Amino acid sequence: MSKWLKKVVNLMKTEQTTNRIAKRIAIIFVIIFAIFFMCIIGVAGYFFYTLAPVDKNSGEEITFVLARGWGTNKVADELERQGLIKNALTFKIYLKANSKVNFQAGSYSLSKNMSVDEIIEIFKNGKNTIQDTISITFVEGKKIPYYAKKISESFPYSEEEVLAKMSNQDYLKKLIKDYWFMDDAVLSPNLYYPLEGYLFPDTYEFERDATLEGIIKKMLDQLDSKLTTYKEEINLTNKSIHNLLTLASMVELEAVTPDDRLETAGVFKNRLNTKMTLGSDVTTYYGVKKEMSESLYMSEINACNAYNTRGTCAINGLPIGPICNPSLSSIVAAVNPNETENYYFVADRNNKVYFSKTYAEQNQVINNLKKQGLWAE
């Protein structure tokens, strides 16, 4: 074969190879484009899916509180938390893609059958707002975690947020400046809940868009009002408000009737004056963070903490702080306890309290209650 013919053959082979490579590259590009296009379709599909109602068939109305000062990120997160939108991130992206939106604070009646567009329109124009207030009853004798739970059930604040706020040192220092009955005792790092005992149990009417500080302030203002009525008597006790509320909280959990509370406070006063340990079960339960309905182990009875007044590790004197939020009758009992000769008391299964002058007398009472089947083991 001539040299010229060989060159022609080689060129033809090279061209065929180049064509094959070009075809393969074209196929790869087509595949990449198809995958990219499918991804775009998938992302777009998911995006628009998350903008649709959570449940088209739902007719349940949900009260959503949009508090003053909330940004769109906070609104989106709360909407997702309450199950009113499918995805907070796409809500935020959708808002940024549109012109600037100003939401109006307030309480809104929303439903899971609303789309993101409908919800945004409601927030922009202040539609579906609920103008009435929220009524919450805080029962006496309950602890701070109960208050946090009650608040979180009616407002867009989690229990963790409420507890964190009530333990914030800067916030507590501000309260000390604002209220005559508060002092540095609430700043102790050994307190489980610094505002324990200071949130007066009552029925309150709150604005639906109330801030967390506003909610707490209303309860502190109520305690202020109650204590101010007895300010003269309080001054005569020569005791700090913190100690009086601590004593009142113990009385609250140890006795039920106003008369029993006055006498119980008198017993505690006698024991404090004679340097006896208070030996109060309710402080032991609080110290180990157990409910009164639960059983205590001996190790818990003897637990060393700043609250326990029982067992081998009992503190001498009052606990470091209140163990619940007491009622007015318990506060009155702490301020004006009975003058009594009793140093002991026990309660039966029906919460009736029996008082005794001596330990021997108390043991006799306990034996009688056991025989009658009234002793609570």
Query: Do 217 and 198 contact (CB within 8 A), yes or no?
Result: no
- Residue pLDDT, tens place only, 123-181: 888 776 765 678 899 999 999 999 999 999 989 899 999 999 999 999 999 999 999 99
Query: Three-class SS of residue 135?
Result: strand
| This prediction's pTM | 0.69
- Residue pLDDT, tens place only, 190-240: 999 999 999 999 999 998 788 999 999 999 999 999 999 999 999 999 999
Q: Residue 240's closest CA among 305, 202, 186?
A: 186
pLDDT grade, residue 54 (50/70/90)? Answer: confident
Largest interatomic CA distance in the chain = 135
Q: Residue 95's closest CA among 106, 83, 103?
A: 103
Question: Cβ of 223: how many Cβ atoms within 10 Å?
Answer: 23
Query: What local confidence, expressed as pLDDT, does residue 30 receive?
Result: 61
Using the predicted structure, report yes or no on whether residue 286 has a pLDDT greater than 80: yes
Q: Residue 68's closest CA among 105, 109, 101, 120?
A: 105
pLDDT > 90 in the chain, percent: 59
All CATH 3.30.1490.480 domain ranges in the chain, comma separated = 61-125
Using the predicted structure, report yes or no on whether residue 44 has a pLDDT greater than 60: no
Question: Cβ of 68: how many Cβ atoms within 10 Å?
Answer: 10
- Residue pLDDT, tens place only, 347-374: 998 889 999 999 999 999 999 999 988 8
Structure tokens belonging to residue 111: 């439903």
Cα gap 9→7, rounded to integer Å:
5
Query: What local confidence, expressed as pLDDT, does residue 47 receive?
Result: 62
Query: What local confidence, expressed as pLDDT, does residue 333 receive?
Result: 97
Architecture, CATH, for domain 61-125: 2-Layer Sandwich (3.30)
Chain mean pLDDT for the chain: 88
Cα gap 96→92, rounded to integer Å:
6
Using the predicted structure, report yes or no on whether residue 11 has a pLDDT greater than 60: no
Give Cβ neighbours of residue 264 (< 8 Å, ≥ 6 apart): 251, 254, 255, 333, 345, 353
Query: What local confidence, expressed as pLDDT, does residue 312 receive?
Result: 92
Query: Do 104 and 81 contact (CB within 8 A), yes or no?
Result: no
